[in-house]
Structure 1
Amino acid sequence: MHHAAHLQVHDIHKRFGSFTALDGVSLDIAEGELVCLLGPSGCGKTTLLRCIAGLERQDSGSLHIGPRDISTLPPQARDYGILFQSYALFPNLSVQQNIAYGLAGANRDEARQRVAEMLELVGLAGSEKKFPGQLSGGQQQRVALARALAPSPSLLLLDEPMSALDARVREHLCTELRQLQKRLGITTLMVTHNQDEAMLMADRIAVINQGRVEQYGTPREIYESPATPFVAEFVGQGNWLPFQGRQDGHARVGELSLRLPEAAGGAEQGRLFCRPEAIAIDPQQGDDNRFRAQVREITFLGNRCRLSFELEQLPGHPLLAELDPALLPRLGGADIWVALPSRSLQVFA
């Protein structure tokens, strides 16, 4: 899947006064890949994007697009298109003029032809003469995308491009953008704090926290095998169980003894982590880590149900499970059996 790295970010450091925004970030992005930088606000993801764009200068480290070292080049020499959350269209220019803005040097007929192609591409054919104020937010964002793509850059940079749009438009535009990106085969780096957006769109996700990459992997790797407690907590829902002490493959959680997966790390104390959908409700009798539990709350979420429960031997520590609503009738009351399968437990020291 991964061809040669198209964008290489190597050991980037950036400080603002005494604040360290980027603390040694390295990433390589393959040609045609869509990578999301995901993290809470203030984690450094936008600073990294701005360094790649040449809008900020890193204190140390290097940036390459293909074989070219772009670390110190001015923005206009770096060969990328960029899209910000504020569409940043010129309100007094027509759609045609907005898109043609980046085509300096093309003659008028070429420019007009290219603008028409771009509008076709983003599904706004025939809107050349309109002004941004006559378009919806989603349409303005499409025009901004057309403008970013018009000069045929080899790299597309997206900074929270959907955050100003409402949820339905956003989801629709995400899907469209992803299909377009695949069709054009354009290497894309997108900043977002929205995990659903990252999961939906990315080939790989770099989870960033406090200026460092905590994990870089496919959406599935990040969800199923979080590398750090931060990643586990930031992406998806999860259950945490503090344990004190271990003995022949089991961990002590309060009064309980839980069997751990074969390859669990050797920490003597720490936390166990388990995804809600991994918890088995009404399990077979011989299943490992099978315990009595009390249902506290059931939340209906359409195609699934979320169950809040407490283990009988671990009162005051609510846990979440997710299950198919069709299984609800089988529960038959507040007292149930649950199992926390050992293979789905992760150990964090």
Structure 2
Amino acid sequence: MIGISIKNFSIAFGDNEILNDISFDVQAGEIVTILGPSGCGKSTILRSISSLESGYTGSIFLNETCLLNGANKCNKDIGYIFQDYALFPHLNVKENIEFALFKLKANERQKRVDKLLKQFDLVEHKNKQIHELSGGQQQRVSIARVIAYEPKILLLDEPFANLDSILRAKTKFWLKNLIKELGLSAILVTHDQKEALSMSDKIGIIHNKRIVQFDTPKNIYKNPNSFYIANFLGEVNTLPKFIAEDLNLDLSKTSIIRIHETKITNKANNYKLNIVNRLYCGEYEEVILSFEKELKSQIKLRVYIDSDISLEEEIYLDINKDKIIEVNN
């Protein structure tokens, strides 16, 4: 069942067009990530779904039956998790969660809150004030408060932005499992490529006010339809024209290879390289090299400390044609 359906969505603020002709679906139990740089309009989609923005053209359907058009609203089905958590500082953990359940009878409300405190591992923190919690605990309270009223749709606006890298990784797995367990239709907006790849069932990439590719993380990563998308999802090296000619590649396209798949060798071949710069990064060195045949063409790669490659000897590009991706400019 389709939980959210966006059809031909466009929005402008005055004369400033933000998004143009955006369309995608989110199935029940599916996580769709809208990925793009800061300021591209990602959060505007969430705000429009939740009726915090109006004046758009196109249609937004919830669970195939509820059309949001500025007059027909279904906010009770929507849970919205903000980047700053939006918790009430004057209420403790238990009271923050209870706030979403004020319409329930006292005994039913207590049962629901106790269940959520246990589910979100917050029992021992239930009487603490918000400022006494860690960032990860605050986020769990924020999510518990949203889940309390049993929404069918979950909107996540940069939910991991305020967490450190270790806590972010742990929380991603936990939240993804929770969404699957509850069968929610979820939209995540982020500018973090790794976050999108690891969390999503589908990814829509916004560029120049449109979704330029919408597919599974693996398909987008392996088969980007443009140089912009390939480079946005992870740094790439552009191969010089003389290599494309040698390998009989399509010269009308840009030939790229991802940095982690760019290899070098000390065995001589036609693609000799010279070191331009090298940075020590602990377990590896990041090395920038130029081609002896074409000095303006440079590539970047990582040489790990346990590699048998010597950077003190002559270096050559060790090209694997199967790793090359040909993309439109």
Q: Give TM-score, length-normalised by structure 1.
A: 0.85
Moved over 4 A (4+): 73-76, 283-286, 298-305
Match of 1:142 in 2: 140
Shift of 1:56: 0.7
Which of 142, 147, 152 is matched with 2:150 structurally? 152
> Matched residues in 1 for 2:60 and 2:23: separation?
9
AA partner of residue 288 (structure 2): S
Which of 55, 65, 68 is matched with 2:65 structurally? 68
Does 2:309 align with 1:321?
no
Count of aligned residue pairs for this structure pair: 327
User: Judging changes above 3 Å, is the alpha-carbon distance between structure 1 residues 25 and 338 closer, same or farther for their aligned structure 2 residues?
Assistant: same
Does 2:4 align with 1:7?
yes
The answer as to whether partners of 1:55 and 1:75 remain within 8 angstroms in 2 is no
> Matched residues in 1 for 2:108 and 2:248: separation?
65
Which of 234, 252, 275 is matched with 1:295 structurally? 275
Indicate the SS of the match to 2:138: helix
Match of 2:314 in 1: 335
Indicate the SS of the match to 1:116: helix
Q: Spell out, residue by residue over 1:63-112, the C-alpha distance to the aligned partner (whole angstroms, 9 max, x if none).
A: 11222133225655451111101111111122222112222421111111
Q: State the superposition RMSD in angstroms.
A: 2.5
Shift of 1:257: 3.0
1:88-99 matched pairs, under 5 angstroms: 88-99=86-97
Does 2:256 align with 1:273?
yes
1:54-203 matched pairs, under 5 angstroms: 54-72=51-69, 73=71, 77=75, 79-203=77-201
Shift of 1:159: 0.5
> Matched residues in 2 for 1:260 and 1:120: separation?
61
Indicate the SS of the match to 1:90: coil
Shift of 1:165: 2.4
The answer as to whether partners of 1:6 and 1:66 remain within 8 angstroms in 2 is yes
Which of 35, 39, 44 is matched with 1:38 structurally? 35
AA partner of residue 129 (structure 1): N
> Matched residues in 2 for 1:225 and 1:302: separation?
32
Indicate the SS of the match to 2:123: coil
> Matched residues in 1 for 2:100 and 2:176: separation?
23
Q: Spell out, residue by residue over 1:9-47, the C-alpha distance to the aligned partner (whole angstroms, 9 max, x if none).
A: 111000001111111111111211111111111111000
Shift of 1:258: 3.7
Residue identity (%): 31
The answer as to whether partners of 1:295 and 1:335 remain within 8 angstroms in 2 is no
The answer as to whether partners of 2:284 and 2:302 remain within 8 angstroms in 1 is yes
> Matched residues in 1 for 2:197 and 2:171: separation?
15
Structure 1: give runs of 5+ residues left out of the alignment.
Answer: 244-251
> Matched residues in 1 for 2:236 and 2:119: separation?
40
The answer as to whether partners of 2:267 and 2:315 remain within 8 angstroms in 1 is no
Match of 1:310 in 2: 290
> Matched residues in 2 for 1:260 and 1:46: separation?
43
Does 2:11 align with 1:17?
no
Q: Spell out, residue by residue over 1:275-296, the C-alpha distance to the aligned partner (whole angstroms, 9 max, x if none).
A: 122323229889xxx5222233
Structure 2: give runs of 5+ residues left out of the alignment.
Answer: none
> Matched residues in 2 for 1:217 and 1:7: separation?
16
User: Judging changes above 3 Å, is the alpha-carbon distance between structure 1 residues 318 and 285 closer, same or farther for their aligned structure 2 residues?
Assistant: closer
The answer as to whether partners of 1:305 and 1:324 remain within 8 angstroms in 2 is yes
Q: Spell out, residue by residue over 1:204-230, the C-alpha distance to the aligned partner (whole angstroms, 9 max, x if none).
A: 211112321121122222222211222
AA partner of residue 46 (structure 2): L
Indicate the SS of the match to 1:42: coil
Q: Spell out, residue by residue over 1:172-223, the C-alpha distance to the aligned partner (whole angstroms, 9 max, x if none).
A: 2222212222222322111111112112211221111232112112222222
Relative contact order, higher structure (CA 8 A, sep 6+): 2
